[in-house]
Amino acid sequence: MAPTIALPFWAQSKPHHHHHHQHGEVSATPEAEVLRKRNEELEKELKKRVEREEKMKEELEKTWKRLKVAEEAEERLCSQLGEFEAEAVDQARAYRARVIDLVEQLSAAQKLLQSMASQ
């Protein structure tokens, strides 16, 4: 007897549930549409964000390459400057030696003139 009571209840509830499901589908369609649109918006947003990130990555790579070029140029300039400094030091030494040489020649000439004058 219990099964026969349970059966009508089950039979009753199933059409009711089915009907409710159909009704739910009708009300869920706009909801599904809203969700689908929201999903599309999120996907677009994500795509934009990914594209932005890609652009930023490209810019970063370009900047990094420029930095590398600048660093290499700086290294070249520094080594050139080092060469110029070494050259300048050499020239300064040569100039100083020449000046000392001329001063010595001058003092020798003065001594010679003095010795000639005193004769």
* pLDDT tens-digit map of 106-117: 999 999 999 988
Q: What is the pTM of this model?
A: 0.40
**Whether pLDDT at 77 is above 80:** yes
How much is the pLDDT for 26? Answer: 52
- Confidence (pLDDT) at 117: 87
> How many residues can be counted in the chain?
119
pLDDT attached to residue 70:
94
- In the chain, the amino acid numbered 73 is A
User: CA–CA distance from 21 to each of 17, 75, 95 (Å)?
Assistant: 6, 76, 104
Cα–Cα distances in angstroms (integers) from residue 112 to residues 9, 77, 98, 104, 108, in the given order: 143, 51, 21, 12, 6
Give the C-alpha separation, 68 to 91, whole Å: 34
Q: Read off the pLDDT of residues 41-56 as tens digits, 9 standing for 90 and up.
A: 999 999 999 999 999 9
In Å, what is the CA distance from 72 to each residue of 60, 66, 68, 69, 77? 18, 10, 6, 5, 9
Average pLDDT across the chain, whole number: 84
Residue 5: the pLDDT is 52
Q: How high is the pLDDT of residue 12?
A: 54
What is the pLDDT, as a whole number, of residue 29?
81
